[in-house]
């Protein structure tokens, strides 16, 4: 989809409000149903201009321009779109007249795009992702207030140097910690491991902390000149899991595999043996966890040193996969890759 800019509010020299750019990618925030109480709906139906027209109050807090980068349910988000998004944000935020960026996005994979942008945007300025759990046509749609609050955070100089943020339901989450926890509730995102970055209530912001890990302007990852990322698969551990899933991934060309392990990154003995064999062949094996919160430590029940595995530390499987994909863009030792999981 073309990245055409639409001026949404007055850009006259008299208007001194901060300039914020909305990059729209689709999701339920742009979704529509036939009736206001229907559970079934289609994501990515409304344009960025239509979404903003529903919240004229945003014009009181920022000068807005919108660009439609895509219009998909985030289950159809791709690395191609994410790379385009990161490059566009880097271009926009290099402009001294632009204060911040808001990305509208589906909630299903929002934590993945947030984490990706947290690693690849090269700016101290605010990058805020937002979305909605209820389509724009629903009773009590949550998108308009989420959008208003996101613009407030993107326009706020105090939001700087906090990495990519997700603003939903009055909460400001950091990209590293947040995760989607409920399939339908508006209170779906939580930051169980490290807590919230802050709150935002009708545009009034409060901040509690900065992220502890490296991100954005402190990140070594760069998507300039990058068009695709190496394949990394996720394999979900469970009772009696079939060990040949590992072989399937390796045969399919995966350069890395993330195990969504039981508990502290465990898997059954049969899978462990195949995983160790894959690691010997040069596939990078990361142990993460299917448990929603907690760290995966090295050498707890699995001998990572002996098998040549990486422990994901605080990253859930989907985020561990993204870090590994970026890590594999260049030659690195296993020791260096493990260090990335402690640093980011
Ligand atoms: N499937 C939708 C999406 O991720 C759900 C949402 O946006 O809440 O695009």
CA 309 / ligand 1 centre spacing (Å): 33
Q: Is 104 in the pocket of ligand 1 (CB under 6 A)?
A: no
Find out whether 261 and 288 touch, Cβ atoms under 8 Å. yes
316 lines ligand 1 (CB under 6 A): no
**Å from CA of 304 to ligand 1 middle:** 36
For the beta sheet containing 284-289, the strands, ordered from the edge strand earlier in sequence to the opposite edge, are: 232-236, 256-261, 284-289, 310-311
| pLDDT score of 13 | 59
The string of pLDDT tens digits covering residues 121-169 is 999 999 999 999 999 989 999 999 999 999 999 999 999 999 999 999 9
Q: Which atom of ligand 1 is nearest to the CA of 29?
A: 7
Q: What is the largest CA-CA distance in the chain?
A: 69
Confidence at residue 4, expressed as pLDDT on a 0 to 100 scale: 41
Per-residue confidence band for 3, with pLDDT thresholds at 50, 70 and 90: very low
107 DSSP 8-state letter: S
Q: Whose CA is nearest to atom 7 of ligand 1?
A: 106
Concatenated DSSP letters of 164-190: EEEEETTEEEETTT-EE--SS-SS-EE
> What is the per-residue pLDDT across 75-114, written as a single tens digit (0 to 9) for each?
999 999 999 999 999 999 999 999 999 999 999 999 999 9
Alpha-helical segments (H) within the chain:
48-53, 79-93, 110-120, 143-154, 244-251, 269-280, 304-307, 317-327, 334-343
CB distance 319 to 111 below 8 Å? yes
Report in angstroms the alpha-carbon separations of 222 from 26, 59, 90, 287, 322: 25, 33, 10, 25, 13
The predicted pLDDT at position 134 comes to 96
Query: Which residues partner with 63 through β-bridges?
Result: 19
Q: Kindly indicate the confidence band of residue 8, based on its pLDDT and cuts at 50, 70 and 90.
A: low
pLDDT at position 12 is 58
Q: Which of 27-36, 171-180, 252-261 has the lowest mean pLDDT?
A: 27-36
Residues in contact with 56: Cβ distance below 8 Å, sequence separation at least 6, in sequence order: none
279-306 confidence digits (pLDDT tens):
999 999 999 999 999 999 999 999 999 9
Return the residue whose CA atom lies nearest to atom 3 of ligand 1.
Answer: 106
Q: Ligand 1: does its nearest atom lie under 6 Å from the Cβ of 133?
A: yes
**Does the annotation count 28 as an active-site position?**
yes
Cβ atoms of 261 and 310 closer than 8 Å: no
Domain architecture of the chain: domains with CATH: 3-218 (3.40.50.1170), 232-343 (3.40.50.40)
Closest to 99 (Cα-Cα) out of 113, 89, 86: 89
Mean pLDDT of 226-233: 98
Q: What is the rounded CA–CA span in Å between residue 201 and residue 313? A: 33
Cα-trace Rg, the chain: 20
Q: Give the 3-state secondary structure of residue 115.
A: helix
pLDDT in the model for residue 36:
86
Average pLDDT, the chain: 95
pLDDT digits (tens, 9 = 90+) for 14-56: 789 999 999 999 999 998 888 888 888 888 888 999 999 999 9
Catalytic residue, chosen from 3, 6, 9, 28, is 28
Q: What's the pLDDT score for residue 307?
A: 98
């Amino acid at each position: 989809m073309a990245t055409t800019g639409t001026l949404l509010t007055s850009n006259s020299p008299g208007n001194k409000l901060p300039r914020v750019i909305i990059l729209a990618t689709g999701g339920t925030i742009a979704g529509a149903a036939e009736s206001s109480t229907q559970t079934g709906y289609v994501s990515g139906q409304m344009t960025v201009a239509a979404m903003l027209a529903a919240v004229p109050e945003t014009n009181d807090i920022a000068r807005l321009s919108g660009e439609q980068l895509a219009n998909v349910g985030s289950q159809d988000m791709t690395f191609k779109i994410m790379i385009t998004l990161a490059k566009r944000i880097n271009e926009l935020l290099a402009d001294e007249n632009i204060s911040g960026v808001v990305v509208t996005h589906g909630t299903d994979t929002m934590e993945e795009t947030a984490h990706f942008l947290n690693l690849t945007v090269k700016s101290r300025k605010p990058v805020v992702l937002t979305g909605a759990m209820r389509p724009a046509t629903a009773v009590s749609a949550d998108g308009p207030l989420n959008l208003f609050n996101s613009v407030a955070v993107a326009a706020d100089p105090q939001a700087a140097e906090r990495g990519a943020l997700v603003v939903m339901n009055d909460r400001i989450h950091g990209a590293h910690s947040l995760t989607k926890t409920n399939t339908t509730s508006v209170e779906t995102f939580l930051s169980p491991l490290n807590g919230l970055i802050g709150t935002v209530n009708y545009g009034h912001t409060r901040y509690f902390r900065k992220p502890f890990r490296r991100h954005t302007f402190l990140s070594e990852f760069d998507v300039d000149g990058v068009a695709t990322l190496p394949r990394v698969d996720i394999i979900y551990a469970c009772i009696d899991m079939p060990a040949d899933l590992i072989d399937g991934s390796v045969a399919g060309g995966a350069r890395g595999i993330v195990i969504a392990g039981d508990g502290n990154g465990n898997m059954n003995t049969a899978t462990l043996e195949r995983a160790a064999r894959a690691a010997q062949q040069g596939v990078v094996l990361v142990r993460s966890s299917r448990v929603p919160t907690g760290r995966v430590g090295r050498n707890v029940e699995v001998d990572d040193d002996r098998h040549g595995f990486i422990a994901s530390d605080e990253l859930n499987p989907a985020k561990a996969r993204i870090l590994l994909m970026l890590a594999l863009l260049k030659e690195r030792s296993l020791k260096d890759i493990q260090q990335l999981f402690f640093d980011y």
